[in-house]
Amino acid sequence: MTGPERDTPGGVPGVSGGVHPAWLPPSAMRAVGRRRVQVHGDGPLVATVRAEVARARADHGGDGDGPPDLVLALAPAQPPDGFTVSRAAGVTTVAAGDGAGLLYGLFHVARLGEAAFGAPFPPRVHRPAYERRMVQHWDNVDVHPVMGQVERGYAGGSLFWHDGALRADLSRAAAYARLLASVGVNAVSVNNVNVHATEALLLTDRLGDVVTLADVLRPYGIRVHLSVSFAAPARDLGTADPLDPRVTAWWALATDRVYEAIPDFGGYVVKADSEGQPGPFAYGRSHADGANALAAALAPHGGVVHWRAFVYNHRQDWRDRGTDRARAAYDHFAPLDGQFLDNVVLQVKHGPVDFQVREPVSPVIAAMPGTRVAVELQATQEYTGQQRHVCHLGPMWREVLGFAPWGADGPAVAGVADGLVAVSNAGDDPFWTGHPLAQANLYAFGRLTWDPHLDPVAVLDEWIDLTFAPDTTADPALLRGTLHAVMDDSWRTYERYTAPLGVGFMVRPGDHYGPDVDGYEYTPWGTYHFADRDGVGVDRSTATGTGFAGQYPPAWSRVYGSPAECPDELLLFFHHVPYGHVLHDGTTVIQHIYDTHFAGAQEAERMRQRWAQLPAGLVDPAVAGRVAERLDEQVRSAREWRDQINTYFHRKSGVPDAHGRRIH
Amino acid sequence: MTGPERDTPGGVPGVSGGVHPAWLPPSAMRAVGRRRVQVHGDGPLVATVRAEVARARADHGGDGDGPPDLVLALAPAQPPDGFTVSRAAGVTTVAAGDGAGLLYGLFHVARLGEAAFGAPFPPRVHRPAYERRMVQHWDNVDVHPVMGQVERGYAGGSLFWHDGALRADLSRAAAYARLLASVGVNAVSVNNVNVHATEALLLTDRLGDVVTLADVLRPYGIRVHLSVSFAAPARDLGTADPLDPRVTAWWALATDRVYEAIPDFGGYVVKADSEGQPGPFAYGRSHADGANALAAALAPHGGVVHWRAFVYNHRQDWRDRGTDRARAAYDHFAPLDGQFLDNVVLQVKHGPVDFQVREPVSPVIAAMPGTRVAVELQATQEYTGQQRHVCHLGPMWREVLGFAPWGADGPAVAGVADGLVAVSNAGDDPFWTGHPLAQANLYAFGRLTWDPHLDPVAVLDEWIDLTFAPDTTADPALLRGTLHAVMDDSWRTYERYTAPLGVGFMVRPGDHYGPDVDGYEYTPWGTYHFADRDGVGVDRSTATGTGFAGQYPPAWSRVYGSPAECPDELLLFFHHVPYGHVLHDGTTVIQHIYDTHFAGAQEAERMRQRWAQLPAGLVDPAVAGRVAERLDEQVRSAREWRDQINTYFHRKSGVPDAHGRRIH
């Protein structure tokens, strides 16, 4: 179940180096490569732009001398990382204030394709919504005995590390940087937030490894960040007390050394007092004390600390109904608002529990107006099918980013957040992400960091055009239609056949893949559904429950707190209701469970059928084969979910299915 | 969780070599060692007797020259392995037909202690009930990635193997042989029945390791057996078809080589077509074909094959109610009765499923009159507390051996069986068995192989006398009383707080330790309880169920088949009944569940309390401390079982506890 090679059964036939090009095959740069291009400016990222242009022209035989079709130029008065694109007099012009902006502008032109070279259009300014657009890798340097090389990784080994050492060949890491840059990502943390013994040494003894990675990622405008152990100073000092001057001096010295080696180092990522990781609580200090100690060391260099808000009691007694894990992040962090230094970024998981297929948006995001907050998303599909199931997450992320915590008149999460972070789903698998269609999640994440208002269907269209070049195939409409049919609604399909109505978990403990309805019910993890013969769900209301609903501003506090008003899809997250409770659509909870589970499994079958109907040749046979294999597994697994969930609730409730379908 | 060192936190203070002497401390041989002893006869085992006597006399300063108090002599007309003991004219005499009998006679005298040297008594003939009295080790040569060095081992590493190799220092193995011989065991299989790649080589490339072990065990009359892979010939021949003459020739040649190296080699142990192990089914052959192929190779040398009947479909669909794992061994083997060669021993687990704390006796034992059957017991406490809980198994085994399959007028299992086998609970733990009190299970097993009619309480008394020498302590009655109070009823206590009324399982998948009521409910393992809101249990009746009850002779088939007549403790093994079903003692099933779980956890607390009240000095402090630690864990775990089981059934049934106790 673990080990770096599990998802790498060999390279991709017919593809250079056996590695699939993801959304940057040569065809993706065809419109650029066919043109006469001029690049104006200097600097390392401008050099990267020139190299990209040269590569594209080599691939596509762009016209030789003559007046340019495309001009890419550094120019004053452009937003950081941004660019302005226009077309006039037969010339398309990209103007950027810095090399990164020019690179993003080039990839923007690639996405536009021939449309960039058609009718004239006036200058359009593009700028990223967030200064920091980050991917975090839960990669271990050593193979961890339980978690393997990549914690919660479903795409082979790490792109950076192999078996205790930095990879000798980092060409995949370089290609990965190019993919990330093409969607606007500009920061990568290169090791697991769970910092084990070997990984703790990256900050000190093995800093050279980080230097090498920074060198590989830098040409694509990506800064390296490092996950560090809060306890790191204790090895030398016997303490990591953040208020001890020796400790702050230790961090200052260690950080100075990092910046000496890597002047554009991004900063630290810290998981403290969380699931066994050390933290400030051990010294009776607050998380503000803890985060500020590291931030103070980083501030002189322009670095930031990403401090995770994922703090809860993972040794809860399941008998204790008073403790609610969902409350924990708010209870710990909201009182600290305003106490963090300006270069602390509080990194908050999008939901209050842990990346379930359906959770409300974390109330912490709206509770920290005096704190910089980054929203953490999980591209790696830990709880959403582990890259064996198609589960296109763009629509879920768009919902999260569009959620308005203060009600329709207030700002949305996208406007409140200071940054977006995703846990990467990429590894050394030949398709990068295990499931070839999971590439689209990494793509969508990048694009949303640039513009969180993008329509996920449009983003998927971009990805399809770049990846599959449908217009070069025999049947573009069929190819596009099939991909949309398989992917667009796949998140909701996955939701339908797994844990119902927002109640979450019901997965096998440990690996988190298949169903196990009571798997976490009597454990210390704080993830319960409380199903009994009469009803199911967690009462998190203020009136009668744990009070979690009261952590939201009034508009949502009221809605979530009321079983009548609570959105159906979150009903069991917020309320314990009888099986006969009638949902807004008129069905009972128990009938809804049966209906959605039959429907979800059937949709998985339809996805497989739809894919099988793709004529040979429309898609690279290696991709087609890998997707087909995984759809087989998805169908099998979806049936298993359907049958276990339905049987469990039928046995418990005794209510027969209104349509008389087979429940075991 | 795995690894050889988990239970070896250092040696036992004050004990030679840091290893506890188990039931053979010097005091155990005091009555012998104080006497003038003559040993008559020759041969290797007589030499062992002489060495034992010399050692005892050295320890206890036995009287010098003069007429003997004890004569041990080879003599004609004694049963194999047996002996006659008598006392007359101030001399105790042990007469045996062979060296093994003389050795057993010596240890018999040790057990008698001073009583052997008191009033005269007429000759008493002792002979073992079974020719072969066997302990099997599920020890791996290589550390297995999941199972560690010892599969289902709770007592540290293997006594034989360490990290891929035979141990260089086999002094523990020699001491172990002495312990086994002292209770009559005369056969040991030295590797896991799951034969992995390295272990498969013991038969051929690494036979030298087996030779060495045989040399270590031989002085105590113990023959070595080897677990082999049925597929072994396939490495050379590409097939293991038992009817292929090349295959039978391969086994003949391999076996000849084994006997050339180890003339007293015992034979093979085979787990075939079971849980992924290869077997005759792959070639369309029966298990008789398979077993006979190996038996034919062994027959010329006097060896036997232990062929395990533990064959079932471990990839069952949980939705399939028609398949019943309990039926499998009978269905596979009963039709083959009479087809096995005489040196095939069909090794049958005592229950039809898998070593649960309560199962009926396997119907296979009574179904094979034309086949030699050995009953397999599990001294290693896989499902009975893993040597963290006190669970004295003597009473359970006695019940199994006393069960009369044809009804009270017919023979009991003890009389039907041809041999007893136990999976060993010993390892390189300084106390041999992890929990010091678990030594008594190994002791009791050995004694039952000699005489299956022994009273378990009397056997425990023997063990207490040998191990703790209570008469040399300040308060013999308190020490004996405490040990009996903690151990006598411990099996039934464990039964009370775990899965109720014979339904079995409800353990955490994988490690099989703590509770997880639905842990196996939706898995392929065939171990289900079918609890729903109305009732619980498996209908194995002939009338309405799987028909398993019909595999017994009529007396029990009728009893087990009827919910009214079925013994309470097996009710849910044989029937699915409503929670309101009234047991023979007048309580309902649901109230029985609550009552026994509250009672069982309370009994665990009383055991701990009783142990804590032992005054310092009555027991070796290292033993006292280890037992106290484990009782703490037992109390914790028993409460967890109580609460999970009670909560599960309360949520499902909705029936309140009649006594209003706290259920979560």
CB-based contact B426:B159 (threshold 8 Å): yes
Dihedral through CA B339, CA B343, CA B349, CA B350, nearest 10? 100
User: Which residues in chain A have their CB less than 8 angstroms from residue B644's CB?
Assistant: 522
| Residue B62, pLDDT score | 73
**Per-residue DSSP letter, A568:** G
| Residue A657, pLDDT score | 98
User: Which residues in chain A have their CB less than 8 angstroms from residue B536's CB?
Assistant: none
CA angle, A286 then A416 then A488, to 5°: 115
Beta-carbon separation of A533 and B531 below 8 A: no
CB count within 10 Å of CB A101 equals: 27
Q: Which of A653, A547, A542 is nearest to A590 (CA)?
A: A653
CB-based contact A582:A592 (threshold 8 Å): no
Task: Return residue ranges of chain B for CATH 3.30.379.
Answer: 9-126
Active-site entry in B256, B275, B534, B565 = B275
Residue B173, φ and ψ in degrees, nearest 5 = -60, -40
| Nearest by CB: B644 against A522, A531, A648 | A522
Instruction: Judge whether A640 counts as a catalytic residue.
Output: no
- 3-class secondary-structure state, position A564: coil
pLDDT digits (tens, 9 = 90+) for B262-303: 999 999 999 999 999 999 999 999 999 999 999 999 999 999
| Residue B335, pLDDT score | 98
| Residue A61, pLDDT score | 85
CA–chain centroid gap for B287, Å, is: 24
pLDDT digits (tens, 9 = 90+) for A122-165: 999 999 999 999 999 999 999 998 899 999 999 999 999 999 99
Give the β-pairing of B37-40 and B148-150. unpaired
Q: Which of A573, A594, A571 is nearest to A583 (CA)?
A: A571
CA–CA separation, A345 vs A519, rounded Å? 34
> Buried (b) or exposed (e) across B322-335, using 16+ Cβ within 10 A?
eebbbbbbbbbbbe
CA-derived radius of gyration, chain A: 25
pLDDT digits (tens, 9 = 90+) for A364-421: 999 999 999 999 999 999 999 999 999 999 999 999 999 999 999 999 999 999 999 9
DSSP readout, A531-552?
Answer: --SSEE-----TTTS-SGGGGS
What DSSP element (H or E) covers B107?
helix B99-112
Asked if residue A16 has pLDDT above 90, the reply is: no
CA–CA separation, A372 vs B219, rounded Å? 76
| Nearest by CB: A652 against B516, B652, B664 | B652
| Residue A13, pLDDT score | 53
Task: Tell me the average pLDDT of chain B.
Answer: 95
Query: What's the burial of A252, exposed, middle or buried (CB within 10 Å: 0-12/13-18/19+)?
Result: middle
CA–CA separation, B349 vs B362, rounded Å? 7
| Residue A516 near chain B (CB below 8 Å) | yes
Q: Does domain A133-468 have CATH number 3.30.565.10?
A: no
Rounded mean pLDDT, A519-530:
97
| Residue A8, pLDDT score | 37
Query: What is the fold of A495-538+576-653?
Result: Alpha-d-glucuronidase, C-terminal Domain (3.90.1330)
| Residue B6, pLDDT score | 36
User: Which residues in chain A have their CB less than 8 angstroms from residue B646's CB?
Assistant: none
> Buried (b) or exposed (e) across B5-26, using 16+ Cβ within 10 A?
ebbbeeebeebeeebbbbbbbe
Q: Which of A169, A171, A165, A55 is nearest to A106 (CA)?
A: A55
DSSP readout, A200-248?
Answer: HGGGTTTHHHHHHHHHHHGGGT-EEEEE--TTTTHHHHS---TTSHHHH
* Long-range Cβ contact pairs of B577-586 (< 8 A, separation 24 or more): B577/B535, B577/B536, B577/B537, B578/B534, B578/B535, B579/B534, B579/B535, B579/B536, B579/B649, B579/B653, B579/B655, B580/B655, B581/B535
CB-based contact A269:A226 (threshold 8 Å): yes
What DSSP element (H or E) covers B270?
strand B267-270
How many helices (H) and strands (E) chain A has is answered by: 20, 19
Beta-carbon separation of A651 and B522 below 8 A: no
| Residue A517 near chain B (CB below 8 Å) | yes
Asked if residue B4 has pLDDT above 50, the reply is: no
Q: Answer positive or negative: Cα dihedral of B624, B625, B629, B632.
A: positive
Q: Answer positive or negative: Cα dihedral of B157, B160, B165, B170.
A: positive
Active-site entry in B139, B354, B495, B603 = B354
Q: Please report how many Cα atoms fall inside a 13 Å half-sphere around the Cα of residue A180, on the Cβ side.
A: 31
pLDDT digits (tens, 9 = 90+) for A607-633: 999 999 999 999 999 999 999 999 999
CATH code of domain B9-126: 3.30.379
Task: Return residue ranges of chain B for CATH 3.20.20.80.
Answer: 133-468
Q: Which of B180, B179, B172, B174 is nearest to B11 (CA)?
A: B172
| Residue A77, pLDDT score | 86
Beta-carbon separation of A533 and B651 below 8 A: yes
| Residue A112, pLDDT score | 97
| Residue A3, pLDDT score | 33
Q: Which of A324, A382, A323, A394 is nearest to A353 (CA)?
A: A324
pLDDT digits (tens, 9 = 90+) for A60-85: 987 677 899 999 999 998 899 999 99
User: Which residues in chain B have their CB less than 8 angstroms from residue A644's CB?
Assistant: 522
Asked if residue B548 has pLDDT above 80, the reply is: yes
CA–CA separation, B490 vs B329, rounded Å? 30
User: Which residues in chain A have their CB less than 8 angstroms from residue B319's CB?
Assistant: 643, 647, 664
CA–CA separation, B566 vs B577, rounded Å? 12
DSSP readout, B523-575?
Answer: STTS------SSEE-----TTTS-SGGGGS-HHHHHHHH-TTTS-GGGHHHH-
Rounded mean pLDDT, A419-436:
98
Q: Which of B390, B598, B357 is nearest to B490 (CA)?
A: B390
Structure ipTM: 0.89
Instruction: Judge whether A169 counts as a catalytic residue.
Output: no
Beta-carbon separation of A643 and B319 below 8 A: yes
Beta-carbon separation of A654 and B518 below 8 A: no
Asked if residue A180 has pLDDT above 60, the reply is: yes
Active-site entry in A256, A275, A455, A532 = A275
Instruction: Judge whether B382 counts as a catalytic residue.
Output: yes
pLDDT digits (tens, 9 = 90+) for B430-470: 999 999 999 999 999 999 999 999 999 999 999 999 999 99
| Residue A195, pLDDT score | 95
